[in-house]
């Protein structure tokens, strides 16, 4: 890539020299691009810029807010006010997991679209002024949906139809979820072998429940089994991150504790 017009969002920024910063830019055209540009390029808003250079670290210039007029893949919404509080933490979570998990310059337009759609939903949610419980539930639904697109992009989509041996989930059987394997029957003889190479959660899931979870995936707005999806998908995210802590998750948890203490 010698010179390319990119449409996307800033994922991460780090100060570099007096007036410049190093960025990770999530573009529709080339995936995550690493580059240097002027300081104070904003997070969480659509951006169009020109990336030049043949090395991994590009030079970013000609920055404009919004997408290029020639970019007909999607229309940039008008984000007039950056959300604060929990909605901002949710946006930060999207950025943080992509920053940590995506390879440089690997185009992933479907994941980019999921990121953009989730950001649009979160901005709209912030403007609604819903009761806290409803807002939290909606955010969890949006984030779980995004995570599933991310898992598919990374080739680790969770199989809710078959167990770790590709055998159909049995309604009468109990299972545990092992991130690098899938659903494993909750049997001592099986778990002993698995435990040698993997972390095993204490959480157990009924086969009937897993089958119903698979059926609910067709409805992106469904809140059925939201707690179970959150628990299972958190295990997989943690595994992919090699169990490194997420700053966005810490902020989210602190905000929840604050609400509980009010």
Indicate which CATH number applies to the domain containing 63.
2.40.50.140
As a whole number, mean pLDDT of residues 110-137 equals 93
Instruction: Tell me the longest C-alpha to C-alpha distance in the chain.
Output: 63
pLDDT digit string (tens) for 132-154? 999 999 999 999 999 999 999 99
Q: Is 65 a member of any domain? A: yes
Lowest mean pLDDT among 67-71, 90-94, 99-103: 67-71
Q: Which of 5, 181, 194, 11 lies closest to 111 in space, CA to CA? A: 11
pLDDT at 260: 66
Going by C-alpha positions, the residue among 136, 77, 149 that lies closest to residue 255 is 136
Taking residues 200-214, what's their average pLDDT?
Answer: 95
Residue 14 within a domain: yes
* pLDDT tens string 17-38: 889 999 999 999 999 999 999 9
Residue 73 has what pLDDT?
65
Q: Is the pLDDT score of 261 beyond 80? A: no
Tell me how far apart the alpha carbons of residues 64 and 46 are, in angstroms, rounded to a whole number. Answer: 9
Most confident of 1-10, 168-177, 185-194: 168-177
Mean local confidence (pLDDT), 227-237: 96
pLDDT at residue 262, rounded to an integer = 60
109 or 259, greater pLDDT: 109
- Is 150 part of a structural domain of the chain? no
Structural domain range at position 75: 1-80
> 180 pLDDT band (50/70/90 cuts)?
very high
> Does residue 39 form part of some domain?
yes
Q: What is the mean pLDDT of residues 115-125?
A: 94
For residue 46, count other CB atoms closer than 10 A to its CB: 23
- Checking if the pLDDT of 93 tops 90, the result is yes
- Which of the 8 DSSP states describes residue 45? S
For the residues of 135-204, what is the DSSP string, one character each? HHHHHHHHHHHHHHHHHHHHT----SSB-TTSPBPPTT-EEEEETTTEEEE--HHHHHHHHTTS---S--
Whether residue 256 is predicted with pLDDT greater than 90 in this model: the reply is: no
Q: What percent of the chain has pLDDT over 70?
A: 96
Closest CA to 99 of 231, 239, 252, 248: 248
When pLDDT is cut at 50, 70 and 90, the band that residue 199 belongs to is confident
CA angle 242, 256, 40 (to 5 degrees): 70
Note whether residue 2 is domain-resident.
yes
Task: Report yes or no: 46 and 78 within 8 Å, Cβ to Cβ.
Answer: no
C-alpha 247/C-alpha 185 separation (Å) is: 34
Total structural domains within the chain: 1
pLDDT band at 76; cut points 50, 70, 90: low
Mean pLDDT of 88-105: 97
- In-domain check, residue 186: no
Question: CA–CA separation, 13 vs 24, rounded Å?
Answer: 7
Q: Give just the sign of the alpha carbon dihedral 71, 57, 36, 60.
A: negative
Label residue 31 exposed, middle or buried (CB < 10 Å: 0-12, 13-18, 19+): buried
Q: Is residue 49 part of a domain?
A: yes
From 15-19, 22-26, 153-157, 209-213, the region with the lowest mean pLDDT? 15-19
Task: Report CA Rg, the chain.
Answer: 20
């Amino acid at each position: 890539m010698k010179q390319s017009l990119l449409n996307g969002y800033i994922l991460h920024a780090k100060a570099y020299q007096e007036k410049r910063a190093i960025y990770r830019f999530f573009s529709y055209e080339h995936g995550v691009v690493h580059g240097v540009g002027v300081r104070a390029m904003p997070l969480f808003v659509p951006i169009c810029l020109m990336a030049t250079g043949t090395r991994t670290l590009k030079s970013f210039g000609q920055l404009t807010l919004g997408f290029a007029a020639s970019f007909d893949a999607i229309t940039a919404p008008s984000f007039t006010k950056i959300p604060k509080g929990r909605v901002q933490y949710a946006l930060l979570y999207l950025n943080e997991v992509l920053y940590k998990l995506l390879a440089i310059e690997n185009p992933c337009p479907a994941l980019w679209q999921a990121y953009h759609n989730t950001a649009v939903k979160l901005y709209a949610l912030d403007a609604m002024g819903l009761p806290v419980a409803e807002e939290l539930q909606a955010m969890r639904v949006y984030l779980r949906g995004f995570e599933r697109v991310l898992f598919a992009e990374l080739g680790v989509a969770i199989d809710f139809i078959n167990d770790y041996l590709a055998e159909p989930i049995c309604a009468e059987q109990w299972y545990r979820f092992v991130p690098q394997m899938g659903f494993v029957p909750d049997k001592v003889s099986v778990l002993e072998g698995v435990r040698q190479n993997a972390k095993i959660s204490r959480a157990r899931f009924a086969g009937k429940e897993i089958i119903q979870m698979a059926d609910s995936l067709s409805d992106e707005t469904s809140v059925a089994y939201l707690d179970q999806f959150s628990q299972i998908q958190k295990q997989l995210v943690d595994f992919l991150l090699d169990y490194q802590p997420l700053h966005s998750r810490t902020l989210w948890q602190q905000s929840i504790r604050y609400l509980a203490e009010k």
